[in-house]
Amino acid sequence: MSDPKIPDEQARTCWDDSADAWEHFVESGLDYYRTDLHGPALLDACGPVGGLSALDLGCGPNFLIFELRPR
């Protein structure tokens, strides 16, 4: 059996090549897990954040930080 490990540069290229499609998927509202399931659950787990600073270190277009900002 061969080693299934993908070389780092190839993995990096694959991620970079798919970034635009991922961003479109998330921002189009098609990612219903983020908008309807785990996003609301994570926001609920944050609790009140008024007056606090936050840094969203996840991947993607900073969904949580935009949801946490004052309106």
The reported pLDDT for the residue numbered 3 is 66
| Mean local confidence (pLDDT), 40-68 | 83
Tell me the C-alpha distance between 30 and 50, whole Å.
29
Tokens of 67: 């949801």
The reported pTM is 0.59
Average pLDDT, the chain: 85
> 3 or 36: whose pLDDT is higher?
36
What own/partner pairs with CB < 8 Å and gap ≥ 24 does 13-20 have?
none
